[in-house]
Amino acid sequence: MQKLSTIIILLILTTFSYSQIFISEYSDATGTGNYIYEFVELYNNSASPQDIEGYTLWQASSTQSFTFPAATIIPAYGILVLGRNADQSAFETFWGVSFGANSIYVNSGNSAPQLNGEEVYLFEDPLGINVDPATDDEYSSQAISSGNRVYRVSTGNTLSDWVMNPESNATPGSLEGDQALPVELTSFTANAGNNSVTLNWTTASESENLGYSIMRGMAKDGNYEEIDSYVNNKSLKGAGNSSTSLSYKFVDNSVMNEITYWYKLVDVDFNGVRTEHGPIYATPRADEVEANPVDGNIPLAFGLAQNFPNPFNPSTTISFDIPKLNDGIMNAKLVVYDMLGQKVKTLLSSTVEAGHFEMNWDGRNDLNQVVPSGIYIYQFQSELFNASKKMVLMR
């Protein structure tokens, strides 16, 4: 019995990890032959891409459904558009849109949606448990009628959380005009300093946003506690309703060097609904250098360059490239090792965005001690790209 209970708890936790995927819009497409352009839109309101293989979108009234195939991944803060039976090019032409890197299109092959009037939807995981709406076996509360589209204005599921207007207002692949959530983030980064971590985030829009709470933990999947919020800190107050891009900054000075800290950003709407973003991490150090792109160019691919000069004395520059990322940022490390595999110096341990970066190593270790001549290895480490090269220090 205890083993069964453990399995059930694990399954529930797995389901909750996807609770930030929401149905944000669905629309009819009236006119002769236009039915193939009907669609349902899903929004991933998290800082990580979400793999929804095996998840199912159900359509009530007609009992139609569509189960997402392998490798269906919604980018972080990205959108998935499920079309009825049109290829992507024809769909984009019909609606006058062009999907960017943060939007993906899936053709259901005439499975769903099939809008004939009064349809509502639910999105569930492979175990048959509701992801959205959150209540099991509950469908979206706003039924659609012919010639219209329905879009979401808040995360609840009462009639006041949805709005219906003519299909000509539909915006597949974008939250513009159908702001589904209190905050639409475009970036959330953590940069380490000397006994400090600086969090920066930018919003594309805000809807009924009361403010933010900063949560900190010692492990990615461990416990998090609130270290500050809009209640006590005016700089964390939200903009309420805003359709313009806004930037925020928070500096955590209650940290110690050489310890990794994990952070979550929580936005709170006017109804007290809390939505989490992250987690991201940073490791403060006494001589930490903030990683910022050296120019405005965006590389086409990942790359780790040979250090220059090489051999060197007393310092050298290590360059690396980050291409455009689906979720805008990623966690990365740049570490120097000796030939025995022992860590000598951590040059970078924080989040990075797309760009060309240059980091300097002065031939000292993490204790600021001069290291001897020899061959050293520098290694770039991340979830998306790993590479290493050798360099020679000659004193």
Output the domain CATH number for residue 203.
2.60.40.10
* Run of H or E residues at 348: strand 343-353
Q: What is the pLDDT of residue 47?
A: 63
> Is the pLDDT confidence value at 78 over 60?
yes
Q: What is the residue-averaged pLDDT of the chain? A: 84
**Per the domain annotation, does 212 fall within a domain?**
yes
Same domain flag for 91 and 129: yes
pLDDT at 11 over 60: no
Do 150 and 24 share a structural domain? yes
pLDDT at 245 over 90: no
316 and 349 co-located in one domain = yes
Domain containing residue 115: CATH number: 2.60.40.1260
- Predicted confidence at residue 182, as pLDDT, reads 61
Q: CB within 8 A of 2, min separation 6: which ones?
A: none
User: Please, which residues have CB within 8 angstroms of residue 35's CB and are 6 or more apart in sequence?
Assistant: 29, 84, 85, 114, 115
| Residue 202 near residue 187 (C-beta atoms within 8 A) | yes
pLDDT exceeds 60 at position 142: yes
In the predicted model, is pLDDT for residue 312 greater than 80?
yes
Residue 157 sits in the same domain as residue 67: yes
CB atoms within 10 A of CB 333: 16
Q: Which residue has the tokens 């597949």?
A: 172
Instruction: Compute the average pLDDT of residues 175-196.
Output: 72
User: What pLDDT is stored for residue 176 in this prediction?
Assistant: 58
Q: What is the pLDDT of residue 242?
A: 82
Residue 181: the pLDDT is 56
Q: Are 72 and 142 part of one and the same domain? A: yes
- 21 token code pair: 């995927």
* Reported pTM: 0.49
Quote the CA–CA distance of 332 and 295 in Å, as a whole number. Answer: 19
Please give the single-letter amino acid code of residue 318: I
Q: Is residue 77 domain-shared with residue 219, that is, in the same domain?
A: no
- Mean pLDDT, rounded, for 162-191: 77
3-state SS class at 88: helix
C-alpha–C-alpha distance, residues 292 and 274, integer Å: 31
Percent over 70 (pLDDT), the chain: 89
Same domain, 157 and 40: yes
| Residue 339 scores a pLDDT above 70 | yes
Q: Is the pLDDT of residue 16 over 50?
A: no
Report yes or no: 50 and 305 within 8 Å, Cβ to Cβ: no
Amino acid (1-letter code) at residue 271 = N
So what's the pLDDT on residue 163?
86
**pLDDT tens profile 107-129:** 999 887 877 667 889 898 888 88
Task: Give kind and range of the element (H or E) at residue 250.
Answer: strand 246-252
One domain for residues 251 and 387? no
Q: Are residues 126 and 271 in the same domain?
A: no
pLDDT at 262: 93
Claim to verify: residue 161 and residue 26 sit in the same structural domain: yes
C-alpha triplet 158, 163, 168: angle, nearest 5°: 155
Residue 200 lies in a domain: yes
Listed in sequence order, the residues at least 6 apart from 341 whose beta carbon sits closer than 8 Å to its beta carbon are none
Residue with tokens 């490239």: 321
394 token code pair: 């000659």
Q: Which two tokens stand for residue 179?
A: 């702001």
On whether both 189 and 326 belong to a single domain, the answer is no
**Cis bond before residue 279 (omega within 30° of 0):** yes
* Of residues 32, 80, 24, 91, the one with CA closest to residue 52: 80
Please say whether the beta carbons of 195 and 254 come within 8 A: no
CA dihedral for 62, 63, 69, 72, sign (positive or negative):
positive
Written as one letter, the residue type at 212 is: Y
What percent of the chain stands above pLDDT 90? 37
Structure tokens at 223: 């416990």
CATH of the domain at 318: 2.60.40.4070
For residue 18, pLDDT over 50 is answered with no
Statement: residue 175 has pLDDT above 80? no
- Encoding tokens for residue 301? 């691919």
**Is the pLDDT score of 12 beyond 60?**
no
Least confident of 46-50, 158-162, 320-324, 331-335: 46-50
* pLDDT confidence bin for 13, thresholds 50/70/90: very low
What is the arithmetic mean of pLDDT over 144-153?
A: 86
Confidence of residue 340 (pLDDT cuts 50, 70, 90): confident
Domain that holds residue 32: 2-169
Overall number of domains in the chain? 3
Domain shared by 226 and 316, yes or no: no
